[in-house]
A and B are shown apart, each in its own frame.
Chain A
Amino acid sequence: MVEGTEPMSERERILGRIREALKGRAPLPGHHGEVVENFAGPERETFSQWLPAVGNTKKAKFEAFAKASADLKTDFRHVADEATMIRELRSVAKEEGWIKVASHHTDLTDMACGKLGLPTLWTDGGYDVNEMESCDVGISVCDALVAQTGTIVLTSRTGGGRALSVLPPHHVVLAHSKQMVRDLPAAFALLKERFGDGFPSMMTLITGPSRTGDIERILVLGAHGPKKLTVLCHD
Chain B
Amino acid sequence: MSSPVSQFKTDATAKAGDLRHRGLIQTALRKYEIVRDVRKGAFQDWEQARQSAAETKFFAINHLDTHLVEFAEKLEARGTKVHWASTASQAREIIGGIIKQKQAKSVVKSKAMTAEEIHLNPALEKLGFEVVESDLGEYIVQLREEAPYHIVFPAMHLTRAEISDLFHNKLGSPETHSPEELTMIARDALREKYITADIGITGANFAIAETGMISVTENEGNARLSAALPKTMISLLGIEKVLPKLEDLALFLPMLATAGAGQQITCYNTMYGGPRQADECDGPEEYHVVLLDNRRTELLADPEQRDALHCIRCGACLNVCPIFRNVGGHTYGTTYSGPIGSVITPHLRGLQDWKHLSNSSSLCGACTETCPVKIDLHHHLLHNRRNASAGKPSVLERLAYRIYAIAVNTPGFWGLGKRIGRLAYPFARFFSGTIYDPARAWTKTRDLPPMPGQSFKEWWKERNR
Query: Using a CB–CB distance below 8 Å, which chain A residues touch chain B?
Result: 1-2, 7, 10-11, 13-15, 17-22, 24-30, 39, 41-44, 46-47, 49-53, 68, 71, 104, 123-127, 129-130, 133, 149-151, 156-157, 160-163, 166-167, 183-185, 187-189, 191-192, 199-218, 220, 222-226
Contact = CB atoms under 8 A, between A and B. Distances in A.
Contact of B282 (A163, A205, A217): A163
Interface string B296-315: 01101111101100100000
B22 interface: no
B256 interface: no
B84 A201 contact: no
B265 interface: yes
B28 to A, nearest CB: 5
B250 A185 contact: yes
Contacts of A208: 267
Contacts of B225: 163, 166-167, 224-225
Contacts, number: 320
B248 A223 contact: no
A206 B32 CA distance: 22
A214 B154 contact: yes
Interface in B246-286: 246-251, 253-254, 261, 264-277, 279-283
Interface of B: 24, 27-28, 31-32, 42-46, 48-49, 51-52, 54-56, 58-59, 62-65, 68-69, 72, 78, 83-86, 90, 93-94, 97-98, 101, 134-137, 140, 153-156, 158-160, 163, 179-180, 182-184, 186-187, 190-191, 194-195, 211, 213, 219-222, 224-225, 227-229, 239, 244-251, 253-254, 261, 264-277, 279-283, 287, 291, 293, 297-298, 300-304, 306-307, 310, 373-374, 376
Contacts of A13: 84, 86
A18 B239 CA distance: 10
Nearest to A210: B221
Contact of A210 (B72, B213, B220): B220
A189 B183 contact: no
Contacts of B78: 199, 201
A154 B224 CA distance: 13
Contact of B55 (A28, A207, A222, A225): A28
Contacts of B190: 224
B44 A225 contact: no
Contacts of B140: 214
Contacts of B281: 104, 123-127, 160-161
A217 B44 contact: no
A13 B87 CA distance: 11
A69 B301 CA distance: 46
Given A50-B52, A224-B190, A214 B137 contact: yes
B28 A201 contact: no
Given A14-B86, A27-B303, A42 B55 contact: yes
Nearest to B191: A133
A212 B58 contact: no
B183 A212 contact: yes
A21 to B, nearest CB: 4
A24 B301 contact: yes
A216 B179 CA distance: 8
B297 A14 contact: yes
Contact of B64 (A18, A30, A39, A213): A18
A116 B307 CA distance: 55
A129 B78 CA distance: 25
A224 B222 contact: yes
Contact of A201 (B158, B251, B280): B280
B32 A217 contact: yes
B420 to A, nearest CB: 44
A210 B300 contact: no
Nearest to A218: B179
A217 B45 contact: no
21 contacts: A2-B93, A14-B239, A26-B307, A29-B376, A41-B55, A41-B59, A47-B247, A53-B44, A149-B264, A163-B225, A163-B282, A183-B250, A200-B280, A205-B253, A206-B267, A210-B219, A217-B27, A217-B32, A223-B183, A224-B136, A225-B224
B156 A203 contact: no
B195 A21 contact: no
A207 B56 contact: no
Given A26-B306, A29-B51, A51-B49, A202 B221 contact: no
Contacts of A52: 42-44, 254, 264
Centre residue among B101, B137, B183, B374 by max chain A CB count within 10 A: B183
A201 B275 contact: yes
A224 B227 CA distance: 13
A39 B58 CA distance: 10
Contacts of B220: 210-212, 223-225
